[in-house]
């Protein structure tokens, strides 16, 4: 009887360890600590075709799709529940999608081409725009998602 309980306990430990490892992997991919004022999300591996399909899934219209330079930019669309208009920009380099975004508000329309960059921020309305970038990033189904808050990564 003791042998049976030992085997059951070993199986329980194996199952628990498997669940913990899966949770850690899932958490690592989708719940990373996002640096303050993040402005670039990188997803890899992915392709130009996946980038275009991801926009179609979320209902974005594509303003520019340059396959030769691996650049995709959406038209501005109103973000639901806000007075903000959002555009998502992606450059694919070495099987990685570098995602940035721009926005403008109906209260303060853009002056020429000076739109605001979307960043992760504590302000709820601005952060909801960043969450839209994250939502798009997840449609690409990459195995690695990383975040940066550097201006050097400004792609447009």
pLDDT tens for each residue of 33-78: 677 788 999 999 999 999 999 999 999 999 999 999 999 999 999 9
Assigned architecture for domain 34-153: 2-Layer Sandwich (3.30)
How do residues 76-114 score in pLDDT, each as one tens digit?
Answer: 999 888 888 999 999 999 999 999 999 888 787 766 666
Three-state secondary-structure class, residue 149? coil
CB atoms within 10 A of CB 96: 17
- The DSSP symbol for 151 reads G
Q: Do 63 and 81 meet the contact criterion of CB atoms below 8 Å apart?
A: no
Structure-token pair, residue 115: 């739109």
- Report the alpha-carbon distance of residue 139 to residue 54 in Å, rounded: 5
What are the C-alpha distances in Å from 73 to residues 16, 52, 97, 101, 124?
A: 44, 9, 12, 9, 25
- Report the alpha-carbon distance of residue 62 to residue 73 in Å, rounded: 6
pTM: 0.72
> Which of 143, 131, 133 minimizes the C-alpha distance to 43?
143
CB atoms within 10 A of CB 130: 22
């Amino acid at each position: 009887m003791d042998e049976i309980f030992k085997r059951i306990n070993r199986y329980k430990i194996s199952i628990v360890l498997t669940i913990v490892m899966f949770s850690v992997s899932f958490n690592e991919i989708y719940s990373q600590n996002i640096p303050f004022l993040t402005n670039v999300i990188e997803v890899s591996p992915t392709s130009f075709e996946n980038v275009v399909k991801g926009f179609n899934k979320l209902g974005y219209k594509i303003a520019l799709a340059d396959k030769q330079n691996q650049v995709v930019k959406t038209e501005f669309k109103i973000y639901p529940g806000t007075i903000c208009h959002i555009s998502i920009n992606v450059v694919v380099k070495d099987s990685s999608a570098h995602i940035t975004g721009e926005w403008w508000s109906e209260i303060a329309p853009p002056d020429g081409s000076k739109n605001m960059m979307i960043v992760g921020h504590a302000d709820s309305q601005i952060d909801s725009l960043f969450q839209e970038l994250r939502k798009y990033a997840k449609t690409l189904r990459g195995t690695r998602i990383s975040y940066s808050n550097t201006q050097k990564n400004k792609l447009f």
